[in-house]
Amino acid sequence: MKQAAYLAFALLGVIWGSNFIFMKWAAEYITPSQIVLLRVVFGFLPIFFFALAKRALRWQHIRYVHHFVVMSLLATAVYYLAFAKGTALLPSSIAGLLSGAIPLFTFICAWLFLREEHINMASLEFRVGNLGSL
């Protein structure tokens, strides 16, 4: 079981890390906006077809489309565009390093801007423990 976890961890690292090399290669031939479009489309299609196959989509969900549009712009399109542009300008190793630093920046911003939620060891253990389930 432990070897399977190490293998899965290594495979995840290869897949996650190679993303920046592929973006660097793609940036030589297409624009960052095109990279974002391809990433969003190829990420959306499998989820959409899976939802159709499971009959998880209902006509009542249409009223929430504006929420999903805002969420998709903030969580994917703007984020991917920034990474695609940055990867086109920086070496892929630096882009990967900055991507890995996102949780640290999130922690610092949460500490700075969410003063009503105190950070203690229990909250840190909870957040670090949830990273293992990703």
Residue 125 gets the label, from left (phi > 0), alpha (psi -120 to 50) or beta, of alpha
pLDDT value of position 49: 92
Per the structure block, which two tokens stand in for 28?
């030589």
Angle of helix 92-100 relative to helix 102-113, nearest 10 degrees, comes to: 40
Distance in angstroms (rounded) separating the CA atoms of residues 86 and 74 = 17
53: pLDDT confidence band, cut at 50, 70 and 90? very high
Distance in angstroms (rounded) separating the CA atoms of residues 118 and 126 = 14
* pLDDT tens-digit readout, 26-44: 888 998 889 888 888 888 8
pLDDT value of position 26: 87
Does the reported pTM lie above 0.75?
Answer: no
pLDDT value of position 81: 85
Distance in angstroms (rounded) separating the CA atoms of residues 35 and 25 = 11
Q: Is the pLDDT of residue 129 over 70?
A: no
Least confident of 10-19, 73-82, 119-128: 119-128
